[in-house]
Amino acid sequence: MSLFTLSPKVAAAMAAHQPIVALESTIITHGMPYPQNVETARLVEATVRENGAVPATIAVLNGELLIGLTDAQLEELAQTKDVMKVSRADLPVCMATRRNGATTVAATMIAAHLAGISVFATGGIGGVHRGAEESFDISADLTELAATPVSVVAAGAKAILDLPKTLEVLETQGVPVIAYGQDDFPAFWSRQSGIRAPLRLDHPAEIAAAHLMRVSMGLPGGQLIANPIPRDAEIANDVLAPLIDQATQEAADQGIIGKSVTPFMLSRLFELTEGQSLTANIALVRNNARLAAKIAQEIVATKKNA
């Protein structure tokens, strides 16, 4: 029995050795409101296709781990209430009990690797939350990056997190954090965080080569590719900083803890920016899909020439 089910399009792409880009689904169910969530998911899939790769959105429906969703499955996921937010700890339980689950960065990496997909595009990764010295709230995304050999393209991490601590944990875990085309580690809504990224690469071919080198050396773990938001979609930090502070305070006041923290913060920020954050979010995810498609193409091309 196979652990996962490939969609017809993803199965065809695999058989033809075409480049494939994995996409997560927590962003759909716990990151954006309906119907923008499903519209964005479709747009991001189209962006991957326009850039020469095949999209594989990953989710669990009735316990079945799906690598690539049909349009009807995507709609079902986006509309269903009580979809589990599935990270590494939850994935086997969700599958064994035949529930519906949306995969986080961590769980999407696990599924992508099981299916033989090396590149994955998302918006932002989970990280070390502000106040983690008290709460111990550190996303399982970070340890997954240390364990599973998938290159993840994200727009850095949101300022709802503690960025210096997030970078420290990634360093300890031996995860290469590679800023694309600039020195600064990007901060999701803004291109600059004021913190220099540990590594910088300027070409998809170099990122692909580094990925393949890691695999050849037998090192576990993947790469975090931090791709700055397009200039025209940036939101100024002085607009967002007070809103992030407000949402952080509200989360604390309401006793929001554990896996509810990130979804709470995301939905509060959508409300507090009156949807302005959504436009930027869509632009950066598509930008990441473009870069991921190029990296996936380079990996396939290198393997063909080997």
Give residues in contact with ligand PSU (CB under 6 A). 24, 26-27, 31, 87, 104-105, 123-126, 139-141, 158, 259, 262, 266
Q: Which stretch binds Mn ion (CB under 5 A): 24-32, 135-143, 206-214, 223-231?
A: 135-143
Query: C-alpha distances in angstroms, 205 versus 5, 91, 298?
Result: 30, 33, 6
Closest Cα to residue 118, out of 20, 28, 45, 44? 20
From the list 137, 141, 234, 298, which residue makes contact with Mn ion (rule: CB under 5 A)?
137
Sole window of 111-119, 133-141, 208-216, 294-302 interacting with Mn ion (rule: CB under 5 A)? 133-141
The candidate with the shortest Cα–Cα distance to 4, out of 61, 79, 82, 88, is 61
In angstroms, give the least distance from the CB of 79 to ligand PSU.
18
Q: Which is nearer to Mn ion, 88 or 286 (CB)?
A: 88
Q: Which is nearer to ligand PSU, 118 or 139 (CB)?
A: 139
Helix, strand, or coil (residue 258): helix
Closer to ligand PSU by Cβ: residue 161 or 178: 161
From the list 91-99, 132-140, 169-177, 191-199, the region that binds Mn ion by CB under 5 A is 132-140
What is the C-alpha separation between 158 and 1, in angstroms, rounded?
39
Query: CA 292, CA 208: separation in Å to the nearest integer?
Result: 10
CB closer to ligand PSU, 265 vs 295: 265
In the bound complex, what is the minimum distance in angstroms from residue 196's beta carbon to ligand PSU? 21
Minimum Å gap between C-beta 125 and ligand PSU is 6
* Binding segment toward Mn ion, per CB under 5 A, in 23-31, 129-137, 177-185, 237-245: 129-137
> Quick one: CA dihedral 178, 180, 186, 189, positive or negative?
negative
Residues 77-106 that bind Mn ion (CB under 5 A): none
Report what 77 binds from ligand PSU, Mn ion, none; CB cut-off 5-8 Å by kind: none
55: cis peptide before it, omega within 30°? no
Six-digit token pair at 85?
């937010």
How many CA atoms are closer than 13 Å to the CA of 127, on its beta-carbon side?
28
Task: Quote the least distance from Cβ 129 to ligand PSU, whole Å.
Answer: 7
* Identity of the residue, 137 or 234, whose beta carbon is nearer to Mn ion in the bound complex: 137
Distance of closest approach, residue 143 Cβ to ligand PSU, in angstroms: 10
How many Å apart are CA 212 and CA 186, to the nearest integer? 24
Q: What are phi and psi of 111, to 5 degrees?
A: -65, -40
> Which residues are identified as catalytic?
24, 158
Residue 191: exposure state from Cβ atoms within 10 A (0-12, 13-18, ≥19):
buried
Residues making contact with Mn ion (CB under 5 A) = 137
